[in-house]
Amino acid sequence: MPFIHVRTTKSVSKQKEQLLASRIGSMMPLIDKSERWLMVGCEEKCHLYFQGSGEKDLAFVTAAVFGKVESTKADALTKELTAAVSELLEIDPDCIYIQYQEAAIWGWNGSNF
């Protein structure tokens, strides 16, 4: 039940959002998750600042996951997420941050896992 939330300073077309969501879906086996339960959010035109400046194009990605993610699997996902965001949104890899959130409790359909 991952939720991958991409926030960026850039404007993102619906087509790019869909391509990004599809690419992210194909990455889920890297962390032993299924695209069936994946939710992807894309938030464009965010006010993000890096090194005290808002002049560069930036992205902040949150990968929220039910349960634990092994560090080697997170490494693989980070590599692929960075590549996808960099390629599709044209953002330099050194301007992309990825945060992992592991959840012990996850709610869906009126109850918790």
pLDDT level of residue 1 (50, 70, 90 thresholds):
confident
pLDDT at 57 over 90: yes
Give CA–CA dist 80/25, Å, rounded.
Answer: 11
Residue 26: its pLDDT value, please? 97
Give CA–CA dist 104/112, Å, rounded.
Answer: 10
Residue 43 belongs to domain spanning: 3-112
Q: What is the count of structural domains for the chain?
A: 1
Residue 67: its pLDDT value, please? 93
For the whole model, what pTM was predicted?
A: 0.93
**What CATH number does the domain containing 73 carry?**
3.30.429.10
pLDDT tens for each residue of 99-108: 999 999 999 9
List Cβ neighbours of 62 (8 Å cut-off, separation of 6 or more).
Answer: 3, 4, 5, 7, 98, 99, 101
Contact 73, 31 (CB under 8 A): yes
pLDDT tens for each residue of 2-36: 999 999 999 999 999 999 999 999 999 999 999 99
Give CA–CA dist 37/29, Å, rounded.
Answer: 12
